[in-house]
Structures are given as structure tokens and as C-alpha cells.
Chains A and B, each alone.
Chain A
Amino acid sequence: MKRAAVPPPAPEPVDDRLTGLPGFRSWRAVYTLVVASFLLWLGLLLWLTRAYS
């Protein structure tokens, strides 16, 4: 069976390079926010574990 060629990657449309979120213009900033919110929750859960065990 023949493998179909994968089309060459097209650059992301300009619209998709912008996040559209106020204060978070780049995707890197959005991913940083996601990681920061995870770390915040991790900290809260660690505090709950330590404070109430």
C-alpha cells in the first residue's frame, strides 16, 4: 500500500499566531499562565496536605 505524501507544513495564519486574549499576546504567555496556574494549585494542595495531616 502506498503512503500518501504529507503536505508541507504551511505557516500559521497571522490570526492564529495572536491569542486574542488581553494581556497575553503570545502563545508562550498563555502556556506560562497554564503552568503558573498548575503550580498555584499544586502549592495549595501541598499546603492542605501539610496543614491538615
Chain B
Amino acid sequence: MSRLDYVVLLVTVLGIALYGMWRTRGGTDLRGYLRGSEQSRWLAIGLSVMATQASAVTFLSTPGQGFESGLGFVQIYFGMPLALILIATVFLPRYRRLHVYTAYEYLGQRFDTKTRLLGAGIFLLQRGLGAGITLYAPAIVLSTVLGWRLDLTILCSGLVVIVYTVSGGSEAVNVTQKYQIGVIFAGMLAALVILVTKLPPGLSLPDAFAVAGNFHRLRAINFSPDPRERYTFWSGMLGAPFLMLAYFGTDQSQVQRYLSGASLRESRLGLMFNAVFKIPMQFFILLLGVLLFVFYQFERPPVYFNEVAWHEHAAGSEGARASAVEAAFAAAHQDERAGLKAWVDARHRGDTAGADKAVAAATAARARVDAARQEARHLVDPQGTTNDTDYVFIGFILNHLPHGLIGLLVAAFFAAALSAKAAELNALGSASIVDVYQHVIRPQASDAHYLMVSKRLTVLWGVVSVSFALSATLAENLIQAVNIIGSIFYPIMLGLFIVGFFLRWIGGTAVFWGALAAQALVICLFVLGKSLPRYEISYIWFNPLGCAACVVFSALLQGTLRRPVNAGELAPTA
């Protein structure tokens, strides 16, 4: 990175944070701190919801996923439009009508205190466990490739996000997210345009698609009914809607974003904005990865994309083996490139026989390339715990983009990390103060007291995040672990709300114990899958299974319990 890149990076990241603090200067009351000005329009809400979901990992790792596996990951978002319509019509009007600060307040009003605390507890546990990941994951990648100190990268980004989130609360998060997502979109669009211009001369976009298609990178839809396959049409249409319902409908980090809307209409339109644009956004990020794959068919990539780790091994005791792998990779890549060039030329001439012959040669060479890369991975990480595809996009940025734009892209990654982290801290602080402190520990105190405690709790969660990030060692393992933990807890949370909204004859005690039983079932399924891999199913299926179990167990328990005396009060009376 040049001096220009550092200027762009610092001005962008710090400028947005300082602007957020300036816009929210002068203090606010508790309501304003937790819900913002409640004047947000639909576009601001839509961008805020989008920025909260898309962390730096989305923009760093998803192109790598497109590079490695193609477009298939987009299927996980198939459930989103339906889920967001359901949230806009069922969840959102209830939250707004009850004037809740957190989603879990609804559980308290519909059921009882213990169910509210169960919901808030699940959220705090799940988000608390993942607290450091949104900071750690981009920091490990960026510090490795840029040669920065990991601890300083985490500390600096953690400090920035804590300061502006605590200073301006929910409003500061809303204000900054608008500009952060703008920087992210500008950076990603610039990278996509430059990547297209860097494809070899004579290779048109249809040619590039044909190359990608030959290596199965454009297989976006997979109709396989195998539940062990993670991303399929069926898991996207039947399993993912539950995951999306749980995340957007019950996770406070999202609920807080759309509750800041000026009206029900603005909040609804903000959600519909995401329902329309999330799939195209993910498609283009994955397509960027696919085009990177095509680019690296004609431009020799490193054998292992985390070049720092590779050079460390190459310089060590296994240097000879690393050199052999590198030589095999270079020869295979050269053959593959020659085969693909011959294929493209034959296609342009309309020579079908020549094209078939060339593509067969390129495919054979590709198998050798993959084998060499596999060996390189095994050399660097014999346990297979890390994934070098996270370094594909950042490697391209540093080696192939002009200065200035490099700074903008790195700023985009930081902007994504900060926007997701700020929403998370804001939500953790809100749930801690509203559902635990104000409700259980100290119910009678002034707003000024709650505001002060709320800020301290946000700082506390920020310190927990930074400490966790500083003590983390294996990024990929941790990310996977946190995703799995999320999939274990989310379905039960959704089950609580589904019972609350649709099964009005079920009371708090039944749903509380039903949820705990369903949670035990999901944990058993997870442990069974890990112990006996042939019974392992994709984590996406935990969502419908866990939610259904929560509903069924609650209904069965309610049947065995005495019917709630005051059940009638739950029915609409006007």
C-alpha cells in the first residue's frame, strides 16, 4: 500500500466515524439512544439492514467462495424474499404496535418474564460468543497481507467502533452505516469493472462465462435432494427461510435497525428493499469471484493464496517439497492456459472438433492444477483447518488494482467490519439494559441512570469483543464454530416467536420448557452428526427442524398443563 492508499483509508474510515459523532452530538435521551431519532426513511433503513448483515467477511470471503465453488452459495438467500414479506406483515406491525425497544420485550408481554429472559439470553449468548469474530476475521486477513500487527489492527478498529457507537447510540449507527455501505458498493463496483478490463484481449464476456461454465463455476442451482449437501435449491427454499426469519425477525441487531423507521411504512419498505436487492448483491459478489477464477486461468496465480504463510513454509525445512509443488503447479497452469486459449480460438473459428480437443486438454491440466493446490494446502496446513480462498480477492486487489483504489477497497473492508460491529454492540447493549438490567436488576431508576448504564454496557460488550478477538487463534475454525452455534440457537428463538404470533392458546410455561426441549434435540442432532458423519445434515436444516420441534413440544406440553386462566386476555378484543 502506498501513502495515497493510507490517506484514502484513514480519511474514509475515520471521516465516517467522526461525521457520525458530529451528527449525533449534544447527547440524547434513553429512547433516542436505543431507537435513534425514529425519523429514518426507507432507503436509510434498507441500507442499514443490509450493512448490518454484510460484515467484512462477506466482502473478503464471498469472492473466494465464488472462485472456489462458483455461484451455488447464492441459493442460501432464496428464502429471504418470503421471510422478509412475512416479517413485514406479521412481526413488524406487532413490534411497532407494542412500542418495544427489543424483540424480546414482545415475549415478555405475550408470555412471561422467564420466556423473555430465555429469548434475550439466547441472543446475548449467541452474539456474545461471536462477539470478536466480526473484528478478528478481517483483521487476520488484512494484517497478514499488509504486514500490519494483528493486535494493533484489532485494537484500533475496536476502539473506533466503540467510541462512535457509545457516543451516538442507534442514531450514530444509522448515520454511519449509510456512508459505509456507499464506500463498500463503490469499492466492489470499481473492483468488478477493473477485473473485467483485465481479462485477456480477445476474451469476450461470453467467452469468460464459457470458461467458468466449463469448470462448473456457473452452476448456480443444484436440485440435489441430498440433505448433506449444504447449498441446494431445496435447502434454500425450505430451510433457509427459517434461518432468515430467525435472523431478520428475532435478532436484535436487525430488529433495532428497522424499528428506527419513521413509520411502519418506512420500516416495511426498508425490508422490501432488502428482499429485492439482496440476491442481486450476493450474485454480483459471487460473480466477481467467478471472474477472478477466469482471470487466474490466464494469469498465473500463487499456488497458495496466503502468500505469507506459503513463503514461511517454502523457506523452512520443507522448502524442497514446496519448490516441487510450485514447479508442478506452474507447468500444469501453463498447459491449462494453452488449452483454454486454443479452445477460445477454436470457438471463434467455429471449429467444434478443435474446441472439444482443446477443452479436454484444459480440463486434464486443471485436474493437475487442483492437485498441486491441494498438496500446497496440505503442506501449509496438514490438519486442513484454514482456507486460503479468503486471500484470493485481497491478493488480486493488492497486485492488480491502482493505488488509491487499493486504499478504497481496504477502507471498504473496514467499513463493513465497523458497520456490522456497531449494530451488534448497539443491540447487545440494548438487550442487556432493557431485558436484563431494567427488567430484572433495577426496575425503578431514572432515564439518565439507564442511559449511563446502557453506554457502560455497550463499552463492556466492546471490550469483550476486542478481548475475544485478541485471544482468537484460528479464524476459519472460529467462524465456522460461531456459524454453527448460530444455527443451533436461532431455530429455538424463532420457535418462541412463531408460537407467540400464531398459537395464542399456548402459555409461557409450556413454550419455555418446549423451547428448552427443542434446544436439547437440536444439540443432540448436532452431536450425533459430528460423532457419526453418515448422519450429519447441513446446518441449514437445523432451522426448520428446531423451530418445528419448539412448536410441537410447546403444544404437547400445553395440552398436558392446566390451560392458562387468563388465556382470554390474549385474544383481540377490539
Contacts and interface: CB of A to CB of B under 8 A. Distances in A.
Contacts of B569: 3, 5-6
B72 to A, nearest CB: 9
B50 to A, nearest CB: 15
A20 B78 CA distance: 27
B221 interface: yes
Interface in A5-43: 5-10, 12-13, 15-16, 18-21, 27, 30-31, 33-35, 37-38, 41-42
B191 interface: no
Secondary structure dominating the interface of B: helix
Contact of A49 (B85, B219, B269): B219
B210 interface: yes
Contacts of B97: 7, 9-10
Contacts of A13: 263-264
Give the interface size class of chain B: 35 or more
Contacts of B85: 31, 34-35
Contacts of B74: 45
B319 interface: no
Given A12-B264, A16-B263, A45 B572 contact: no
Nearest to B211: A52
A33 B241 CA distance: 18
B269 A19 contact: yes
A15 B265 contact: yes
A53 B112 contact: no
A30 B264 CA distance: 14
A6 B114 contact: no
A47 B214 CA distance: 15
Given A52-B210, A53-B216, A45 B109 contact: no
> Lowest 7 A-B CB distances belong to which pairs?
A52-B213, A45-B220, A8-B574, A16-B264, A52-B218, A38-B81, A5-B569
Interface of A: 1-10, 12-13, 15-16, 18-21, 27, 30-31, 33-35, 37-38, 41-42, 45-46, 48-49, 51-53
26 contacts: A1-B508, A3-B111, A3-B566, A5-B566, A5-B570, A6-B570, A8-B573, A9-B97, A13-B264, A15-B263, A27-B268, A30-B272, A31-B89, A34-B81, A34-B272, A34-B276, A41-B283, A45-B220, A45-B221, A48-B209, A49-B218, A49-B219, A49-B220, A51-B213, A51-B218, A52-B209
